[in-house]
């Protein structure tokens, strides 16, 4: 079946640093979605990508739909304390089912 590999699993960051995370798939996706989940809450949609090569920004967040349609990247510029949380990628293929990554946990260094 379809699988998503999301990396890194966790990141320790200093406030002000840029952050990058990515997801790769064993098969082609038509849609990539990036979500953030805070403790005790449901995932919140950050960015949706629909075309190969598409680059979309939402404030300090930028995500790209890979040219091969098997990967996607999320970058956060100038991180702030409220960026802490778990980021999930999710991809949708031809069967319309959403496949989820295992998440990247962002932690601020003390």
Partner 1 sequence: EAGVAQSPRYKIIEKRQSVAFWCNPISGHATLYWYQQILGQGPKLLIQFQNNGVVDDSQLPKDRFSAERLKGVDSTLKIQPAKLEDSAVYLCASSFSAEQYFGPGTRLTVT
Compare residues 66 and 101 and give the one whose CB is closer to partner 1: 101
Binding mask 67-96 for partner 1 (x = CB under 8 A): ---------------------x-x-x----
SS (H, E, C) the chain: CCCEEEECCEEEECCCCCEEEEEEECCCCCEEEEEEECCCCCCEEEEEECCCCCEEEECCEEEEECCCCCEEEEEECCCCHHHCEEEEEEEECCCCCEEECCCEEEEECC
Binding of residue 40 to partner 1 (CB under 8 A): yes
Binding site for partner 1 (CB under 8 A): 31, 33, 35, 40-45, 48, 50, 88, 90, 92, 97-98, 100-103
């Amino acid at each position: 079946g379809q699988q998503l590999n999301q990396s890194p699993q966790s990141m320790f960051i200093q406030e002000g640093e840029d952050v990058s995370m990515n997801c790769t798939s064993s098969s082609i996706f038509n849609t990539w979605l990036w979500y953030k989940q805070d403790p005790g809450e449901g995932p919140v949609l950050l960015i949706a990508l629909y075309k190969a090569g598409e680059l979309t920004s939402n404030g300090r967040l930028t995500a790209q739909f890979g040219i091969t349609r098997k990967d996607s990247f999320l970058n956060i510029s100038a991180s702030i304390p409220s960026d802490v949380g778990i980021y999930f990628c999710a991809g949708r293929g031809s069967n319309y089912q959403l496949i989820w990554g295992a998440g990247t946990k962002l932690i601020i260094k003390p």
